[in-house]
């Protein structure tokens, strides 16, 4: 156990880049003394973020991935590790367990630590092994969850050590880079192999470990279908019928279970439709977005046919990253891409590739029909401008400009 402790402490000295958004969140939430859970899909930089946060603090740190012989296997071992750290160093202000899901009965130790209120506990793990409702049971609601997304556009520029520009933005569109892509050779082959590795490790370790998915080929076909169609209204029956018509017979119940498995592994995110007239969530025809469009683009990406889809996906994740609650606005036959809420702040956003005089009314007309007075924005690849439609001001902005400022 002492060897694991020394290896974990040495691992803390490895250089990492600060991601200010998450560093600030950890700084703010640590004041509550509640358990902080840093989570999301694989390889988004969870470990680097917590290591950067505690590098100048009195923190007991355990990286479970370094524990090859499973020395710290359960709650008792976890408590022994903490006592050993105290003996070697001092009483900590923070206890950080990286990849805590590999420790049995970990909740017993963590709940006991929280009850004593001697330090702040921070844990990381892949959320596919513990859903939100399980977290509530696990820690009886005494926690804050911090989802760590792939690099935002601003972070992408920071990691590349470049200033934001349209040229860099085009590069960002093609691959929504995972943090580690910055530290490996920048040729296309190596990058694609890395993204393929992330996809395969997520599928086999998160999807197949948690869900019963006996037909991997069918799973991949459904994934391919979503890669083409996820920005449209999707029903499980439609997917099943389409696959059956292509000589791959399946049922809507199977499609439903496989899509749930993708969602559990945080490969996709489900978005509900909100009835703008009846002010209620619609329980049908949800939309799905990819949590990292680089994994989606790996299978195919054509700027001519896919750019509007990728733009919409980027805007959606950016809203989530900035802590907006996001729904798709629905009113009779028309739809608003996103209705975003954060406390009392609301904004309606439409995403389009290009907007010009010939299609202006069609592209912004749905926003004009909104009865509410909150801001209405069209994001596209056009320069910034304002547009008055029936005495309503609609703001048109370039996506690149908006991603470098507050939404």
Exposure on the CB side of residue 71, measured as CA atoms within 13 A: 15
- Helices (H) and strands (E) counted in the chain, each on its own, are 17, 13
The tens digit of pLDDT for each residue in 2-34 reads: 999 999 999 988 888 999 999 999 999 999 889
Average pLDDT along the chain: 84
- CA–CA dist 240, 131 (Å, integer): 27
Contact, 37 vs 46, CB < 8 A?
no
| pLDDT greater at residue 53 or residue 371 | 53
The tens digit of pLDDT for each residue in 97-133 reads: 998 878 888 888 998 998 888 999 999 876 555 555 5
The contacts of residue 2 (CB under 8 Å, 6+ apart) are 84, 88
Residue 245: pLDDT above 80? yes
- Domains delineated in the chain: 2-147 (3.40.50.300), 269-407 (no CATH)
The mean pLDDT value for 195-219 works out to 78
What's the residue count for the chain? 407
Exposure on the CB side of residue 52, measured as CA atoms within 13 A: 19
104's tokens: 């049995």
Locus of tokens 């005494």: 142
Angle at 370 between CA 368 and CA 376, to 5 degrees: 65
What pLDDT does 268 receive?
86
CB-count exposure of residue 101 (10 Å: 0-12, 13-18, 19+): middle
What pLDDT does 292 receive?
84
**H or E element that contains 354:** none
Neighbouring C-beta atoms of residue 13, cutoff 10 Å: 8
- CA–CA dist 284, 307 (Å, integer): 27
> What CA–CA distances, in Å, run from 292 to 152, 161, 222, 227?
10, 21, 17, 12
The tens digit of pLDDT for each residue in 32-61 reads: 889 999 988 888 899 999 999 999 899 999
What pLDDT does 18 receive?
93
Band of residue 71 on the pLDDT scale cut at 50, 70, 90: very high
- CA–CA dist 126, 339 (Å, integer): 28
What pLDDT does 367 receive?
84
What pLDDT does 151 receive?
92
From first CA to last CA, the distance across the chain in angstroms is 48
- CA–CA dist 324, 342 (Å, integer): 5
- CA–CA dist 393, 269 (Å, integer): 31
The tens digit of pLDDT for each residue in 296-338 reads: 777 666 666 678 888 998 999 999 999 999 988 877 667 888 9
What pLDDT does 233 receive?
65
**H or E element that contains 129:** none
The contacts of residue 383 (CB under 8 Å, 6+ apart) are 398
Band of residue 407 on the pLDDT scale cut at 50, 70, 90: low
What pLDDT does 385 receive?
64
Contact, 397 vs 377, CB < 8 A?
yes
What pLDDT does 197 receive?
86
What pLDDT does 301 receive?
63
The tens digit of pLDDT for each residue in 275-305 reads: 766 566 655 667 888 888 777 777 666 666 6
Residue 363: pLDDT above 70? yes
CB-count exposure of residue 135 (10 Å: 0-12, 13-18, 19+): middle
Share of the chain above pLDDT 90, in %: 29
Beta 35-40 vs 120-126: how paired, if at all?
parallel
Nearest CA to 66 among 79, 82, 89, 47? 47
What pLDDT does 201 receive?
80
**H or E element that contains 234:** none
Contact, 319 vs 337, CB < 8 A?
no
Residue 343: pLDDT above 70? yes
Band of residue 196 on the pLDDT scale cut at 50, 70, 90: confident
């Amino acid at each position: 156990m002492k060897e694991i402790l020394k290896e974990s402490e040495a691992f803390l000295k490895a250089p990492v880049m600060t991601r200010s958004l998450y560093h600030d969140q950890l700084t703010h939430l640590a004041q509550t003394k509640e358990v902080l859970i840093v989570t999301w899909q694989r390889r988004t930089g969870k470990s680097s973020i917590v290591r950067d946060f505690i590098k100048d603090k009195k923190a007991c740190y355990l990286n479970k991935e370094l524990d090859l012989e499973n020395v710290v296997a359960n709650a008792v071992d976890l408590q022994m590790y903490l006592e050993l750290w105290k003996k070697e160093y001092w009483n900590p202000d923070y206890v950080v367990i990286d990849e805590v899901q590999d420790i049995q009965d970990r909740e017993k130790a963590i709940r006991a630590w929280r009850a004593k209120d001697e330090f702040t506990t921070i844990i990381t793990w892949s959320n596919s092994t513990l859903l939100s409702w399980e977290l509530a049971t696990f820690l009886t609601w005494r926690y804050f969850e911090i989802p760590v997304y792939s690099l935002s556009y601003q972070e992408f520029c920071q990691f590349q050590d470049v200033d934001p520009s349209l040229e860099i933005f085009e590069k960002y569109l093609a691959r929504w880079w995972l943090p580690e892509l910055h530290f490996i050779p920048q040729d296309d082959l190596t990058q694609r192999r890395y993204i393929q590795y992330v996809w395969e490790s997520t599928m086999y370790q998160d999807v197949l470990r948690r869900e019963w998915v006996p037909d991997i080929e069918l799973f991949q076909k459904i994934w391919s279908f979503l890669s083409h169609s996820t920005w449209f209204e999707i029903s499980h029956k439609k997917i099943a019928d389409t696959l059956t018509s292509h000589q791959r017979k399946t049922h809507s119940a199977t499609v439903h279970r496989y899509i749930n498995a993708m969602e559990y592994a945080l490969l996709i995110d489900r978005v509900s439709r909100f009835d703008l007239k009846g002010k209620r969530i619609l329980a049908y025809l949800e939309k799905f977005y990819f949590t990292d469009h680089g994994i989606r683009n790996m299978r195919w990406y054509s700027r001519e046919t896919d750019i509007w889809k990728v733009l919409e996906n980027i805007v959606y994740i950016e809203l989530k990253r900035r802590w907006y609650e996001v729904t798709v606005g629905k009113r009779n036959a028309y739809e608003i891409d996103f209705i975003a809420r954060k406390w009392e702040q609301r904004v309606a956003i439409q995403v389009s590739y290009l907007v010009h005089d010939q299609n202006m009314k069609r592209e912004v007309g749905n926003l004009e029909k909104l009865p509410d007075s909150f801001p209405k924005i069209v994001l596209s690849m056009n320069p910034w401008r304002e547009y008055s439609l029936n005495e309503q001001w609609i703001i048109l902005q370039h996506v690149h400009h908006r991603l470098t400022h507050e939404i």
